[in-house]
């Protein structure tokens, strides 16, 4: 390859995982996009390049079944048949019916219910000390997405376990234990959703699974869409809440009167989803380099969201930040379908927490999940001063 900007950033390095932002700042100062020999792909660091990559239809998400294909079929089936792993025209065909079902007003109708669930969870916490992830940030979006789809609450713990097992496959170099757990989770998850979908075909209910079985999607596509919504519907939300809350409590900050502005800053400041890959179907120029056909490029959303070309004082958490064009939900055809739901949940759960516990403070060191791509805490001890 002729001389091109290169990077050897180790995304698995515990120091980087603990705080990737100084590393991103150094890289961004050197180049917009750089080749990573170890990862065999380009990495995009700045806001303009990340945005350009996500908008460019020549750079797609191209699903390849994971191997061995027989063993991994349960995992592959859930991915091959859903919108996020496909490009137009298949993407359009898979997204449109789900978007239509979503747009039926289920989200706004849920707002008072989200507040009610939040208050119930807070009733059960002990102000003397509790884990705000396990007791609040995690169960809330799981219950909400389960209710939206029509999955009985008794399965909430299973949903969380299955989802965590599946998403560990998205980290670099999964071990054989991780693969085994993901396959087992995919089998059980699909079985539950298939059973619920079969029930709704006979006895329709006022929920999203009923809406999905009423669309032109095939049986496998309904299962894949429901699993995608159940997973995407809580994984990132938990971490946006946890990451944003820790950032605020560490700085002694509180949500602004303009709560939606604080929610946007939580999304920007410490991105819950850091990396998404695309593959070029033809040569594409971006950030001063050319991604050749067949080559991969990954966007680093957390890096883009701290780009000083776009954000004033990007390293500052400003609860009232007004100009905030972050890319936490992506951009282009794969723009997060659940963004209105995620925003509504955060805009309800954040004030509910601070209205109940105005003196909330950290009560020990938050424990990181230790993963790069899905960035978050699995435990955040808090107490009321
Ligand atoms: C704050 C929480 C959330 C964040 C930060 C987030 C972020 C994202 C991002 C960055 C993408 C684009 C991926 C790409 O470009 O390859 C995406 C896609 C998606 N998200 Fe979210 N998401 C959140 C919550 C949700 C929720 C609550 C749901 C569903 C109920 C959801 C459903 C989806 C779906 C279905 C897609 C795929 C869209 C497509 O491929 O066309 N997300 N999300």
Q: What percent of the chain has pLDDT over 70?
A: 99
Mean pLDDT of 18-42: 97
Per-residue confidence (pLDDT) for residue 43, from 0 to 100: 98
Per-residue confidence (pLDDT) for residue 107, from 0 to 100: 82
> Which residues contact residue 275 at a Cβ distance below 8 angstroms, ignoring those fewer than 6 apart?
11, 298, 299, 300, 301, 372, 373
Integer angstrom CA distances of residue 27 from 52, 150, 274:
18, 45, 15
Per-residue confidence (pLDDT) for residue 102, from 0 to 100: 83
Mean pLDDT of 251-264: 98
With tokens 């939040």, the residue in question is: 118
Ligand 1 atom 30, closest CA: 233
Mean pLDDT of 342-369: 97
Q: Identify the residue with better confidence: 75 or 106.
A: 75
Mean pLDDT of 192-204: 97
CA dihedral 156, 157, 162, 163 (to 10 degrees): 60
298 in contact with ligand 1, CB cutoff 6 A: no
C-alpha 338 – ligand 1 centre gap (Å): 6
* pLDDT for residue 106 is more than 80: no
C-alpha 192 – ligand 1 centre gap (Å): 22
Closest CA to 298 of 55, 2, 50, 22: 50
What residues does each domain of the chain span?
14-384
Ligand 1 atom 40, closest CA: 84
CA dihedral 322, 234, 83, 64 (to 10 degrees): 110
Mean pLDDT of 178-186: 96
Mean residue pLDDT of the chain comes to 95
Q: What is the pLDDT of residues 123-157, one digit of tens each?
A: 999 999 999 999 999 999 999 999 999 999 999 99
* pLDDT for residue 185 is more than 60: yes
Ligand 1 atom nearest the C-alpha of 145 is 30
101 in contact with ligand 1, CB cutoff 6 A: no
* pLDDT for residue 266 is more than 60: yes
Could you tell me how many helices (H) and strands (E) the chain has, helices first? 16, 12
* pLDDT for residue 276 is more than 90: yes
- What's the token pair of residue 183? 């396959």
**φ, ψ for residue 101 (rounded to 5)?**
-65, -40
Per-residue confidence (pLDDT) for residue 255, from 0 to 100: 98
- Look up the CATH number of domain 14-384: 1.10.630.10
Per-residue confidence (pLDDT) for residue 2, from 0 to 100: 59
Per-residue confidence (pLDDT) for residue 370, from 0 to 100: 94
In DSSP terms, which residues pair with 296 in a beta bridge?
279
Q: What is the pLDDT of residues 210-234, one digit of tens each?
A: 999 999 999 999 999 999 999 998 9
Per-residue confidence (pLDDT) for residue 1, from 0 to 100: 53
Mean pLDDT of 333-344: 96
């Amino acid at each position: 390859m002729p001389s091109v900007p290169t990077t050897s950033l180790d995304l698995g390095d515990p120091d980087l995982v603990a705080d990737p932002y100084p590393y991103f700042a150094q890289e961004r100062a050197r180049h917009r996009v750089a080749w990573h020999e170890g990862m065999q792909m380009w990495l995009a660091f700045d806001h303009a390049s990340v945005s350009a990559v996500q908008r460019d239809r020549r750079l797609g998400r191209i699903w390849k079944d994971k191997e061995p294909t027989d063993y991994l079929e349960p995992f592959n089936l859930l991915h091959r048949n859903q919108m996020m792993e496909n490009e137009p025209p298949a993407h359009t065909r898979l997204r449109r019916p789900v978007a239509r079902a979503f747009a039926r007003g289920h989200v706004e109708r849920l707002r008072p219910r989200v507040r009610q669930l939040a208050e119930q969870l807070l009733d059960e916490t002990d102000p003397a000390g509790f884990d705000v992830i396990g007791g609040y940030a995690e169960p809330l979006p799981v219950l909400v997405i389960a209710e939206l789809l029509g999955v009985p609450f008794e399965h909430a713990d299973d949903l969380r376990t299955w989802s965590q097992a599946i998403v560990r496959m998205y980290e670099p170099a999964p071990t054989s234990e991780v693969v085994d757990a993901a396959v087992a989770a995919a089998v059980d998850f699909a079985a539950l959703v298939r059973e619920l979908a079969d029930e709704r075909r006979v006895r329709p209910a006022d929920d999203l699974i009923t809406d999905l079985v009423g669309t032109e999607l095939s049986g496998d596509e309904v299962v894949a869409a429901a699993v995608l919504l159940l997973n995407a519907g809580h994984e990132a939300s938990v971490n946006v809440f946890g990451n944003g809350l820790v950032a605020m409590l560490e700085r002694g900050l509180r949500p602004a009167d303009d709560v939606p502005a604080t929610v946007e800053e939580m999304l920007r400041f410490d991105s819950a989803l850091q990396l998404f890959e695309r593959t070029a179907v033809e040569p594409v120029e971006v950030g001063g380099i050319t991604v050749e056909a067949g080559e991969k490029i990954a966007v680093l959303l957390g890096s883009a969201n701290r780009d000083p070309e776009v954000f004033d004082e990007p390293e500052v958490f400003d609860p009232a930040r007004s100009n905030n064009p972050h890319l936490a939900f992506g951009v282009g055809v794969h723009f997060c379908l659940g963004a209105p739901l995620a925003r509504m949940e955060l805009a309800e759960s954040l004030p509910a927490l601070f209205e109940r516990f105005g003196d909330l403070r950290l009560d020990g060191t938050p424990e990181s999940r230790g993963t790069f791509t899905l960035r978050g805490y699995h435990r955040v001890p808090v107490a009321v001063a």
